[in-house]
Structure 1
Amino acid sequence: MAAIWNGWRLTDIDQAKQAVRERAWRRLIDGGGAPADSYGKIPGFYGTPATAERLAGLDEWQQATRIKADPDRAQLPTRTRALEDGRLLYTAVPRMAGLEPFFLLDPETLTVPAGEAAEKKGAAQVARRIGVEAMRPIDTVVCGSVAVNRSGARIGKGAGYSDLEVALLVEAGLVTASTVIVAPVHALQVLEDEIPETEHDFSVDYIVTPDEVIRCTNRRRPPGLVWDDLTAEEIAAIPVLAAQQRAR
């Protein structure tokens, strides 16, 4: 018998999530909140600089010293702001390739402007690649999202890397109860829909749009890596997961 989550059969959750994504992309693009080529991606929505500025006004941001931000285009102003504000910045290597799946950008040692270092290409050229064991506890996680709701449930584009990164960092004790997770999005990405969640999903503490900050109270964190949710192919494709599985 299939397991049940809040009325959903778990075998149907992927389809339910994809339906939410489809509605969010159409609503955002048709509403003029992002370019048409945002479909199928973490949207590079209009207003990302204003969103980064609003995020930087949060007390939690001002108190943070170490920030982990997703490498998508929508978070570029936030990654740039983190470096300009003197924060250590972690961002994932594309597809979590290799046993050192994160980049570390230290504003004190940058040899290029912050905006250049924060770009995907710039990070690949100037950042230091590190493994989880070389990282320090993270104060703020900035995650790219396709859709969120006001309870804090969020959904990405379906590749699953953001969830895996957070789960890996939870497993290592680097994302803890004191870590704040933020979703910068366009207002059109904030849906009233229920967003299905499984054990490996995380929720966000704040939604930040160009115009407002929404505090979410339904905090949800994964217990770490949920091995039963990972296929053999997924584990084999991500070296750090394959290594951890061998060590179990």
Structure 2
Amino acid sequence: MKTDWIGYHQNKDLLRTEIWSLLKQQAASIGDCFGHIPNFVGADRAAEKLATLPIWQQAKTIKCNPDSAQISVRMRALQDGKRLYVAVPRLTDARCFVELNAADLQRQNVSIAESALALAKRSEGKPAPTGAAPTKRIARKALACGKLVSFAEMEPIDLVIVGCVAAGRSGGRTGKGAGFADLELAMLTEFGLVQIDTPIVTTVHPLQIVADSRLPMQPHDWPLDWIVTAGEVIETNTSYPRPTGLNWDSLRSEQLAQIPILRKLNEPRRR
């Protein structure tokens, strides 16, 4: 299966294709999962289970990925009155996060459900379903009633939710291969917004949990502290080290070319 980000790590490419195929074969995915963070049957129940954990209940500010698999997580965060940060898809804006909260959405007459769904559609480039409100319009409203923020304008993050294609019980993970989650976390760390003990969580289908040996972790990879499914909560007690910031040596040339904030952060290094 060819995706936009194939070819950077052969074993991870094979694993992703295996997981996408398995989810499809077992009718465990919702929609086309190939090339994406897969939306999965039971995602709403996994979000509810996550919301029972102390790390969720104590968190006031949450950073979450914009994918369909975490629609229910974003909805719950807003319903629970938390400040929510969602990255601009592909980090294409110099202010590369959107800040959302329920009060601002209500003032702009955008429902929590609409905003959670629209951000996923915008992220994955999918059209709105037949009969649904136009996705681009909702996405614009969701972004407009939130606000684009720079790192300097953000509050410290209490909990991070990332999307995964596969996860291991010792904390290994892989996304769809683009590296955006790792980049976002590295930059947030550079600005002191994510700390060494900020919990990192994913919600997945049980079929996405694989043997640890299948998830080799590289120096720029961020491990998981928790994995939540519809029926299980796994505390990984990971021994994988966290990156301490951006690993410039691991950045690809196209990332520097396409992501404005990386170019800006790189300017002092080039002088």
- Could you say which residue in structure 2 is the equivalent of 1:177? 196
Contact 1:139 1:178 in 2 (8 A): no
1:116 alignment partner, one of 95, 114, 136 = 114
Other structure's SS at 1:91 match: strand
Q: Is 1:67 matched with 2:88?
A: no
How far did residue 117 of structure 1 move? Answer: 2.3
Question: SS in structure 2 opposite 1:25?
Answer: helix
Say which is worse superposed, 212-221 or 194-203, in terms of deviation: 212-221
Query: What residue is the counterpart of 1:234 in the other structure?
Result: 255
2:75 aligned partner, one-letter code:
T
Please name the residue that 2:146 is paired with.
127
Q: What SS does the corresponding residue of 1:38 show, helix, strand or coil?
A: coil
Aligned residues: 237
Equivalent-residue separation in structure 2 for 1:126 and 1:18 (angstroms): 38
Instruction: Note the C-alpha offset of 1:221.
Output: 1.6
Which amino acid in 1 is paired with 2:236?
A: C
Q: Counterpart amino acid of 2:235?
A: R
In 1, Cα distance between equivalents of 2:42 and 2:224? 20
Contact 1:117 1:127 in 2 (8 A): no
Q: CA deviation at 1:206?
A: 0.5
Give CA-to-partner distance per residue, 1:194-245, whole Å, 9 cap, x none: 2011111001111000111011011432121100011232112100000000
Does residue 100 of structure 1 match 2:95? Answer: yes
Deviates more, 1:40-49 or 1:26-35: 26-35
Pairing 1:143–2:138 present: no
CA separation in 1, counterparts of 2:8 and 2:111? 43
Does the alignment pair 1:26 with 2:21?
Answer: yes
Instruction: Work out whether residues 20 and 34 of structure 2, in 8 Å CA contact, stay in contact via their aligned partners in 1.
Output: yes
| 1:117 and 1:126 in contact (8 A); partners too | no
Distance in 1 (CA, whole Å) between partners of 2:115 and 2:51 is: 19
CA RMSD of superposed structures (Å): 1.5
Alignment map for 1:24-63 (pairs within 5 Å): 24-35=19-30, 37-63=32-58
Cα distance between partner residues in 2 of 1:198 and 1:25: 22
Report the TM-score, using the length of structure 1 for normalisation. 0.91
Query: What is the identity, as a one-letter code, of the residue corresponding to 1:48?
Result: A
- For the residue of structure 2 that corresponds to 1:162, the secondary structure is helix
Q: Secondary structure at the match of 1:141?
A: strand
TM-score with structure 2 length normalisation? 0.84
The one-letter code of the counterpart of 1:130 is V
Letter in 2 for 1:44: N
Which amino acid letter does the alignment assign opposite residue 163 of structure 2? G
Output the amino acid matched with 1:190. Answer: I
Question: Equivalents in 2 of 1:35, 1:116: separation in Å?
Answer: 18
**1:84 aligned onto 2:82:** no
How many angstroms apart in 1 are the aligned matches of 2:144 and 2:53? 31
Cα-to-partner distance string for 1:20-67 (whole Å, 9 max, x where unaligned): 112211222222211461122110111111011000000110000000
Gaps of 5+ in 1: 1-11
Letter in 1 for 2:234: I
Residues 81, 102 of structure 2: 8 Å contact kept = yes
Contact 2:104 2:145 in 1 (8 A): no
Aligned to 1:4: none
Aligned to 1:9: none
1:157 equivalent in alignment to 2:173: no
Alignment partners' CA distance in 1, 2:230 and 2:116: 20
In 2: Cα distance, 1:32 partner to 1:118 partner: 24
Q: Give the direction of change, closer, same or farther, for the CA distance of 1:67–1:36 in structure 2 (3 Å limit).
A: closer
